[in-house]
Amino acid sequence: MSAAMRTLAFLALIGISSSQTPDCSYLRLLNHLNLPTTNSALSIMRPVKNWTTTTILKLDMWLYGILEVDEKCQTLTSHVWIQMSWPNEFLTWNSSDFCGLDMVTVPRSMLWTPDIVIQEDASDSGSIHKGDYHSLMSSGRVRSNIRQRLTSTCRLNLYRFPFDEQHCNITFTSTTYQEDLLKLETYNNDTVLAKVSEHIMITQGEWQLENIKVTTDPWFHDGENFYKLIYMVKISRKPLLYVVILIIPLFYLLVLDLASFFIHEARGEKLSFKVTVLLSISVLLLILQDMLPSTEDALPMIATFCVSIFTMVGLSVLEAMVVIFLIDFDDFIGKKVQSCDNAHVDTQMDVIQNEPVGAEEKGEVKAEKSYLPLDWPKDGDLLKLILEEVRAARQEVGKQDKVKKKPSYYRKLAEIVDSVFFGIYLLTFLSFLVWMYVNWFRNPN
C-alpha cells in the first residue's frame, strides 16, 4: 500500500516537474512569433514599425574565384558569395525565454526580402540567385547567404595586353526602394574583404586579384534616387604564357630574319628562308586574332608589335627580291658582254698560242710541231702538247676570273642596297625594341 502511494507520489512528481520544464522546441518560438499561422504581411511589407525608418542592408561580397575573363565578349565570370543582412523589427525575442535559442531558419517566401540586383549581371539566369532559407536572429536580424556564378560585363582595356590590369565594377542596387528607404552598406570594410577574398580564393586562372574597393554612390533614375554599392575589383593578368607563346617567338623570328642577311645570296635560299619566317609570323597573328576583340578605339600594343614585325620582315623579303633581281640582271648583262668578249678572247688565245710556239721555233725545236694534228706526236711532244693545253686553259680561266672579279655596276648596287637596308633594318629593330619597352612593358604607374 505504502509502495503504491509512493509510486503515485513519484508519478505526480514527474507530472509536476515535466509541466515545469520549459518547452525548448522551435515550434514554441515559431508560435510565439506567429509565423506558422501565417502572417503573409511579413513577406510583403518592409519590416519596419514606422515607414519613415530607413532599412539598412548590410551586404558583403566575397570573391571565391575568377573563372574566366572573356576578352571578346568583355565579360568577367566569377564565383561570388554574397552575405546580406537586414533588421526585421517584428520578429524579435528574448533568447533566455526559449532555452537560449537565438537563431531559427525560415523559408524565404515567408519573409520580406530586399530586391537587390547587380547592374553588370549578364548571365542568362538573371540577377542574384536567392537562397531557399533565411536565418532569423533573436535580435530580429535576417541573414541571407548566396553563392553564385556571376557573369558580369566589364569594359576591358586591352591596350597593354598581356601586361594589363582590369578594373571591373560589381554594382548592387535596389530597383524599387529609394535612397531614403533602403540604404546599402558593407559589414566588413574593404581591407578585410580583399584580404579574405585573397585568402579563400580557390581558383583565379591567369588572373591575380590586386584589390577590392567599395564605394557607395547615389544613382539617379527617372527622377528617383537609388542607392548604389559598388565593388571595384582590380585584377591583373599573369603574362608569362603569352610571353612564351607569342612575344618570344616573334622576337626570335625577327632576329632570325636579321641573321638571314648573312646568308650568302645563293638565289632562292635566302628568299625562301625569309618567306618561311613571314609565314610563321602570320600563324602567330592568327592565334592573336582569336584572342583579341576587334575594338577600334585603341589597337592593343601586341597587335602593333605583330604588325610591325610582319611589315619589317615583309620589307626585308622585298629587299631580298630586289637584290636577287639586281644580281641576276648583272649576270645577264655580264653574259652578254662575255659573249661579245669571247671573240676577243679567242683571238687573244691565238696570240697566246702562237707566241710560245714562235719562241720555241726560235729555240731548239723546229717545224715538226706546227702540224701537230697530222701525225701522232712522240713522247716529248705529247708532254709539250699537254703543257700548252693546260696553259691555255689556265689563261682562259684567269680571263673568266677577271671578268667575274670585276664587280659590275648592278652587282655593286645590289651590295650597297643590301648593306644600307641591313643598317636601317638594324636601327629600326633597336628603336622598335626601345619604343616597345617604354610603351608596353614598363608599368604606367
- CB of 213 or CB of 399, closer to ligand NAG: 213
Burial of 234 (0-12, 13-18, 19+ CB in 10 A): middle
Q: Which of 296, 260, 266 is nearest to 426 (CA)?
A: 260
Q: Which of 128, 132, 136 is nearest to 82 (CA)?
A: 128
- CB of 219 or CB of 273, closer to ligand NAG: 219
- CB of 97 or CB of 115, closer to ligand NAG: 97
Contact call for residues 332 and 339 (beta carbons, < 8 A): no
C-alpha cell recorded at residue 23: 518547452
Beta strands in 285-329 (DSSP E): none
Residues making contact with ligand NAG (CB under 6 A): 50, 52, 94, 96-97, 155, 167, 169, 189, 191-192, 215, 217, 230, 232
28: β partners: none
C-alpha cell recorded at residue 363: 729555240
- CB of 225 or CB of 347, closer to ligand NAG: 225
- CB of 172 or CB of 410, closer to ligand NAG: 172
CB neighbour list of residue 429: distance below 8 Å, 6 or more residues apart: 254, 258, 312
- CB of 116 or CB of 230, closer to ligand NAG: 230
Shortest distance (Å) from residue 93 CB to ligand NAG: 9
Q: Is the dihedral of CA 332, 337, 343, 346 positive or negative?
A: negative
Alpha-helical segments (H) within 109-229: 190-200
Shortest distance (Å) from residue 260 CB to ligand NAG: 45
- CB of 74 or CB of 408, closer to ligand NAG: 74
Distance from C-alpha of 365 to C-alpha of 350, rounded to nearest angstrom:
20
Shortest distance (Å) from residue 50 CB to ligand NAG: 4
CB neighbour list of residue 217: distance below 8 Å, 6 or more residues apart: 228, 230
Shortest distance (Å) from residue 444 CB to ligand NAG: 16
List Cα–Cα distances, 358 to 178, 218, 277, 290, 361, in angstroms: 124, 116, 62, 83, 5
List Cα–Cα distances, 277 to 187, 243, 258, 382, in angstroms: 58, 19, 11, 58
Amino acid in the structure at residue 79:
H
Distance from C-alpha of 344 to C-alpha of 392, rounded to nearest angstrom:
15
- CB of 159 or CB of 425, closer to ligand NAG: 159
Report the half-sphere exposure of 225 (CA within 13 A, side-chain side).
Answer: 7
Q: Which of 85, 100, 90, 109 is nearest to 26 (CA)?
A: 100
Distance from C-alpha of 139 to C-alpha of 259, rounded to nearest angstrom:
78
- CB of 102 or CB of 206, closer to ligand NAG: 102
103: β partners: 137
Shortest distance (Å) from residue 171 CB to ligand NAG: 7
Q: What does the chain come to in residues?
A: 445
Shortest distance (Å) from residue 313 CB to ligand NAG: 37
Shortest distance (Å) from residue 307 CB to ligand NAG: 28
Shortest distance (Å) from residue 229 CB to ligand NAG: 11
- CB of 9 or CB of 298, closer to ligand NAG: 298
Shortest distance (Å) from residue 97 CB to ligand NAG: 6
- CB of 93 or CB of 305, closer to ligand NAG: 93
Shortest distance (Å) from residue 2 CB to ligand NAG: 41
Grouping H, G, I as helix, E, B as strand and the rest as coil, residue 232 is: strand
Shortest distance (Å) from residue 113 CB to ligand NAG: 24
Distance from C-alpha of 309 to C-alpha of 180, rounded to nearest angstrom:
59
